[in-house]
Amino acid sequence: MHTSTDVFAKVRDHDRSAMLAAAREADVLPYFHLLTSPAMPVVEMEGAERIMLGSNNYLGLTGDERVMKGAEDALHRFGTGLTGSRLLNGTIPLHLDLEREIAEWMQTEDALVFSTGHQANLGALGTLLGPGDTVIVDSGDHASILDGCLLSRAKLRPFRHNRLDKLEKALDRSQQDGGGVLVVVDGVFSMEGDIAPLGDISELCHRYGARLMVDEAHGAGVLGARGAGTAELLGVGDRVDLRVGTFSKSLASCGGFVAGPHEVIDYLRISSRAFLFTASAVPAAVGAALAALRVLRSEDGPPLLAQVLENARRLRDGLHERGFAVVTPQSLPSEGQLQEHAPGVRSSGGAHTIVTPIVPVLVGDDWKAALLWRALYDAGVFVNTALHPAVPPGGALLRTSVMATHDEATLERALDAFSRVKSEFESEHGPLPGPEAG
Ligand SMILES: Cc1ncc(COP(=O)(O)O)c(C=O)c1O
């Protein structure tokens, strides 16, 4: 005779089950739709052509001949898998080349390649922090950062997204916690596409003796003259202690890295459980990431950076003109070390702005967002949907994103589809938030 509840009970009755069932019933579930072609600016999904505005393939390198050859050569030289940890039988020369070239790119002493970006965050945070330490995170930070913090059992002090006053309060309070203090922020926030004010954040960290780690998943391969990310664009590379990145976005592959001082990286190399107790990435993934990084760091890189950021502005402006609630171009600090001439930075009257490739369209209501997603999908445009709890309640959004390889005609076609869908949608379901809500 036992009285414990079944751990499987929650799979039948969780807080999202009713919404999920209703979305399935109405055929508006925006998740798990099948891609049946290469990941390109226009793809085939479920038997129809769709313009892909829902990827992180910012430089469009997934179909680049040089990157495909990098994957192919690695596959033929090392086989399909390495079947073991980096520590044991899973390190190939490509890993070492990649680590050296990432460190050069990030201008850090060293770098360590993980099998995913999620594991890089887990591996860095779960190893460097412990129960006596404090970790201060922006509430918009990526889930893998939160997972790493929870794994570390450090004291977690979250602050409201981009609120520097709240960050300062957390730093002040952390002085009494008694351990080391680490602040972790996304360079570019993955859902909203906004850039963290790293100049002010690094200043505060310095004042309170805290270390700073920046997740450059959406900044590396996008921002800065060398595409090294947010810290490079804002001219604060030397004030960031650790950077984390992924190969699953601009670098057109899968995997992740941590870059920073040699002593820290070397410690992670022998102590990080997310690095040691998992298999090394498949050779093709490492080969593709290395080839993509070489394209980015060649003379072909800067035009790609300029193009993806120009496409972002075109998409943002087009959506704004068509009455959607999109963000205004982000102002960048004019004092300090900003790279004013970096790709995508527009200057006027002493002010500098940028639009990152993540262009969220605010919808508000979860159900309306799912319906709008479906209408766009049927009109031949795939976008991502962020519903609560990925965003605050009432903050549902469609996350659109561009690639350097979207041409003008394709973006115009996508914008036309948005226009058509908007008027039909609003006549049936009422008004969507307008540009003033962006
Ligand atoms: C900000 C951020 N950090 C980390 C990750 C994890 O990267 P990966 O996809 O390589 O696991 C992602 C991507 O999902 C991300 O958006």
Alpha carbon distance 69, 79 (integer Å): 14
Alpha carbon 206 to chain centroid, angstroms: 26
Cβ contact 142:121 at 8 Å: yes
Tell me which of 190, 251, 278 to substitute to probe ligand 1's pocket, judged by most ligand atoms within 8 Å of the beta carbon: 190
Residue with tokens 């850090």: 108
Which residues lie closer than 8 Å to 345 by C-beta, 6 or more apart? 233, 332, 338, 339, 352, 353, 354
Question: Residue with the nearest Cα to atom 7 of ligand 1?
Answer: 117
- Among 91-100, 258-267, 389-398, 418-427, which is the least confidently predicted range? 389-398
**Per-residue confidence (pLDDT) for residue 389, from 0 to 100:** 79
Q: Count the Cβ atoms, other than its own, within 10 Å of residue 133.
A: 21
CA atoms 383, 387, 393, 394: torsion sign:
positive
* pLDDT reported for residue 3: 73
Q: Mutual orientation of helices 301-321 and 283-297 as an angle, nearest 10°?
A: 90
Q: What are residue 299's phi and psi, to 5 degrees?
A: -70, -15
- Cβ contact 234:332 at 8 Å: yes
CA–CA distance, 118 with 145 (Å, rounded to integer): 8
Buried b (16+ CB within 10 A) or exposed e, 184-199: bbbbbbbbbbbbbbbb
Give mean pLDDT, residues 275-298.
Answer: 98
Name the residue of 142, 194, 215 to mutate for ligand 1: max ligand atoms within 8 A of Cβ: 142
Q: How far is the CA of 74 from the centre of ligand 1 (A)?
A: 24
272-281 average pLDDT score: 98
- What is the C-alpha to C-alpha distance for residues 312 and 341, in angstroms, rounded to an integer? 17
> pLDDT (tens digit, 9 = 90+) per residue, 90-149?
999 999 999 999 999 999 999 999 999 999 999 999 999 999 999 999 999 999 999 999
* Pocket residue to mutate for ligand 1, from 112, 137, 146, 248, most atoms within 8 A of Cβ: 248
In the structure, which protein residues have their CB atom closer than 6 angstroms to any atom of ligand 1?
116-118, 121, 142, 144, 186, 190, 215, 217-218, 246, 248, 256
Residue 229 CA to ligand 1 centre (angstroms): 14
Residue 425, number of CB atoms within 10 A of its CB: 19
pLDDT band, residue 12 (cuts 50/70/90): confident
Going by pLDDT thresholds of 50, 70 and 90, the confidence category of residue 19 is: confident
* pLDDT confidence bin for 89, thresholds 50/70/90: very high
Cβ-based neighbour number of residue 430 at 10 Å: 9
Indicate the top mutation candidate among 119, 137, 246 to test ligand 1's pocket, ranked by most ligand atoms within 8 A of CB.
Answer: 246
Percent of the chain past pLDDT 70, that is, above it, reads 100
Give the span between the Cα atoms of 85 and 392, in whole angstroms: 38
113-123: per-residue pLDDT in tens? 999 999 999 99
Q: Which residue's alpha carbon is nearest to atom 8 within ligand 1?
A: 117
- Tell me the CA–centroid distance for residue 389 and ligand 1, in Å: 17
Taking residues 313-340, report their average pLDDT: 93
Integer angstrom CA distances of residue 268 from 55, 138, 272, 433: 30, 24, 5, 46
**Tokens found for residue 63:** 């179909």
DSSP character for 423?
H
Q: Per-residue pLDDT for 40 more than 70?
A: yes
In the reported structure, the alpha carbon of residue 246 is separated from the centroid of ligand 1 by a whole-number distance in angstroms of 6
pLDDT of residue 391: 85
Average pLDDT over residues 162-179: 97
Q: Concatenated DSSP letters for 313-382? A: HHHHHHHHHTT--BPPPEEE-SSTT--TTSTT-EEETTEEEE--SEEEEEEESHHHHHHHHHHHHHTTEE
- Ligand 1 atom with the smallest distance to the CA of 118 is 11
Tell me the per-residue pLDDT of 360-406, one tens digit each, with 9 for 90 and over. Answer: 999 999 999 999 999 999 999 999 999 887 888 899 999 999 999 99
Q: Is the pLDDT of residue 216 over 90?
A: yes
Query: What residue ranges define each of the domains in the chain, with the CATH number in brackets?
Result: 14-61+301-437 (3.90.1150.10), 63-297 (3.40.640.10)
Give the confidence band of 1 by pLDDT, cuts at 50, 70, 90: low
Å from CA of 67 to ligand 1 middle = 20
Query: What is the predicted pLDDT for the residue at 157?
Result: 98
Percentage of the chain lying above the pLDDT 90 cut: 90
Q: Select the more confidently predicted residue: 17 or 329.
A: 329
CA of 194 to the centre of ligand 1 (A): 16
**pLDDT tens digits, one per residue of 220-248:** 999 999 999 999 999 999 999 999 999 99
